[in-house]
Amino acid sequence: MRKIVFYAALVACLCGLWSCRGKPAGGEERTAADTLSLILRVRECSRLYTAEYEVRKLVLKDDALRLKGRLFGKDYDLKVPAGERKAIVPVRVTLKAYIDFAGFSEKNVVRSAGRIAVILPDPRVVVTSSRIEHDDVKQFVSLTRSGFTSAELADYARQGEEEVLSALTDTDILDMARENATHVLVPLLEQLGYDSSDIVIAFRKEFTESDLPELLVPGERTEKW
């Protein structure tokens, strides 16, 4: 299950940009002053949170008791009858995506033939909460085994969080970050005299799983296990 929340901060930032808008730039020439005005206004957004994802992950653990050893020169690995333990651990992970405009500069703006492209800073994703839904944890334990400990359940929950993060680029959270930044920047650029058809808002690249270590940032979690 996944829940997406859009932030009122988008509206607040947009209103701030409109309140400080200047006159549309005239003619085909776009001056350095236009670029400076754009940079200053975009920086007012600072850290723009664009979306929140809440993912519910079921972690399935099968922990069979096994006998391993070597007999008569051969290795053996046998499952012990009536020695199984299984657990279903529901984990809820909350992620927030944002774009930090603090370092926005002329390097992020490309002009050509009356058109303008804004290259967004790389998006960032932070885990704000990871928790086990303890009321929904299911355990199936043989009479010969003890139940799962809290430490074991927490370890399985961490595994679930890692699986959620590893699949991050398969979701649309990064596309949403770009889309919501577009809602802020396009009206501003229109105020500088550009038609919406002449505006491009993009990230510098398409992000893949190998980029995740750079996109993920540590955060202070409100809940954990």
pLDDT computed for residue 188 by the predictor:
84
pLDDT computed for residue 57 by the predictor:
93
Question: Pairing between strand 216-217 and 47-71?
Answer: unpaired
Q: Tell whether the model's pLDDT for residue 94 goes beyond 80.
A: yes
Question: Pairing between strand 115-120 and 124-132?
Answer: unpaired
> Is there a domain that residue 188 lies in?
yes
> pLDDT band for position 3 (50/70/90)?
very low
Q: Tell whether the model's pLDDT for residue 11 goes beyond 70.
A: no
Q: Tell whether the model's pLDDT for residue 16 goes beyond 50.
A: no
Question: What would the mean pLDDT of 110-132 be, rounded to a whole number?
Answer: 89
Q: Tell whether the model's pLDDT for residue 225 goes beyond 70.
A: no
Give the closest residue to 157 by CA, choosing from 199, 182, 177, 127.
127
The SS3 call for residue 17 is: helix
Question: Pairing between strand 115-120 and 109-112?
Answer: antiparallel
Structural domain range at position 185: 2-55+93-132+149-224
Q: What is the dihedral of CA 214, 218, 221, 225, to 10 degrees?
A: 80
Mean pLDDT score of the chain: 79
CA 15 – CA 22 distance, rounded (Å)? 14
> Is there a domain that residue 162 lies in?
yes
> Is there a domain that residue 27 lies in?
yes
DSSP state of 197: G
> pLDDT band for position 78 (50/70/90)?
low
pLDDT computed for residue 217 by the predictor:
84
Instruction: Output phi, psi for 215, to 5 deg.
Output: -85, -30
| The length of the chain, given as a count of residues | 225
Instruction: Output phi, psi for 195, to 5 deg.
Output: -80, 150
> Is there a domain that residue 36 lies in?
yes
pLDDT computed for residue 22 by the predictor:
41
Of residues 181 and 60, the one with the higher pLDDT is 60
CA 88 – CA 134 distance, rounded (Å)? 10
CA 75 – CA 70 distance, rounded (Å)? 4
What does the angle CA 9 – CA 14 – CA 18 come to, to the nearest 5 degrees?
A: 150
Question: What would the mean pLDDT of 110-119 be, rounded to a whole number?
Answer: 87
CA 124 – CA 217 distance, rounded (Å)? 7
> Is there a domain that residue 73 lies in?
no
Question: What would the mean pLDDT of 139-168 be, rounded to a whole number?
Answer: 89
> Is there a domain that residue 218 lies in?
yes
Task: Return the beta strands (E) in 1-153 as ranges.
Answer: 2-5, 47-71, 74-100, 109-112, 115-120, 124-132, 138-141
> Is there a domain that residue 43 lies in?
yes
Of residues 90 and 75, the one with the higher pLDDT is 90
How many domains is the chain partitioned into structurally?
A: 1
| pTM exceeding the 0.75 threshold for the entire prediction | no
Q: Residue 50 corresponds to which amino acid? A: T
Q: At a CB cut-off of 8 Å and minimum separation 6, what does 9 contact?
A: 48, 49
pLDDT computed for residue 179 by the predictor:
85
> Is there a domain that residue 143 lies in?
no
